[in-house]
Amino acid sequence: MSPLEGKRVAITGAAGGIGTPVARMLREAGAYVIGIDRTECNACDSSIVTDLSDDTQLAALAERLSGECPDVLVNIAGVMRFGLHEDQPIEALALCYRVNLLVPAVLARAVAAPMRVRGSGQIVNIGSVLGSIPYPWFAAYSSSKAGLAALSQSLRRELMGTGVAVTHINPRAARTAFNNSEVNRFLEVTGMKADAPEWVAARIVAAVAARRETVSIGAMERIYAALNAISPKLIDNGLAGQIRKARAEFC
């Protein structure tokens, strides 16, 4: 029997390009899936339609999840910002940090106590390899995802020994509508790989089922992330060619 059989799983961003296949695969594994998004989530058993950018609606969602605590919370909802940091509108930066970091923090806060009290649960945060290998032209996105990695580690250590697992997953770029035309052009110019959404979703669901702690998708990405943590200058030099190409295209 699947370890997800009969589990109640709440997913933010469940109507998106990654959230939809994740929701479907979780249901196939026997979970009851509650989709959280701005629209109905057709791949889910039930939906909570809400706007995570609204303070009142976020507070109401947090209260609901605290009172009707799921077995698993999966934070997938995200906002991408691409371009020179100096050109980013303040409100766009605020939204990026809010959805990518504040929202997961608020929702994790809502479920952590009830999960700890009952002695079981799992909080899953979907980050990005750009959080461990911060990229130019993605300064806000990379830093928000780096913050999510720190949040996940802190929560895991807080909840250690309570029966509550914290899983942090770093996918590479995926071929979804999350990427606008400029991002797709950046991937093309720099030769960065973009994965099929179904392939990414399968690895997310496998990590959730196994209650993994940290998962980074891509062998070379894991190597680059380790090198960046030890010696960022090596990665500076390694990215120099990509940066020259991107400057020629986007500056």
Question: Is 8 strand, coil or helix?
Answer: strand
Within 10 A of 91 (CB to CB), how many other CB atoms are there? 8
Taking the CA atoms of 18, 24, 25 and 31 in sequence, report the sign of the dihedral they define.
positive
- Report H helices in the chain: 19-28, 55-67, 90-97, 103-118, 129-132, 139-158, 181-190, 197-210, 219-230, 232-250
Q: List own/partner pairs for 50-53 with CB under 8 A and 24 or more apart.
A: 52/12, 52/77, 52/98, 52/99, 52/103, 53/95, 53/98, 53/99
Is 141 known to be catalytic?
A: yes
Residue type, 28: E
- Which tokens belong to 108? 């994790």
Report the candidate in 26, 147, 130 with the shortest Cα–Cα distance to residue 81. 130
Residue tagged active-site, from 32, 97, 141, 224 = 141
Tell me which residues are annotated as active site: 141
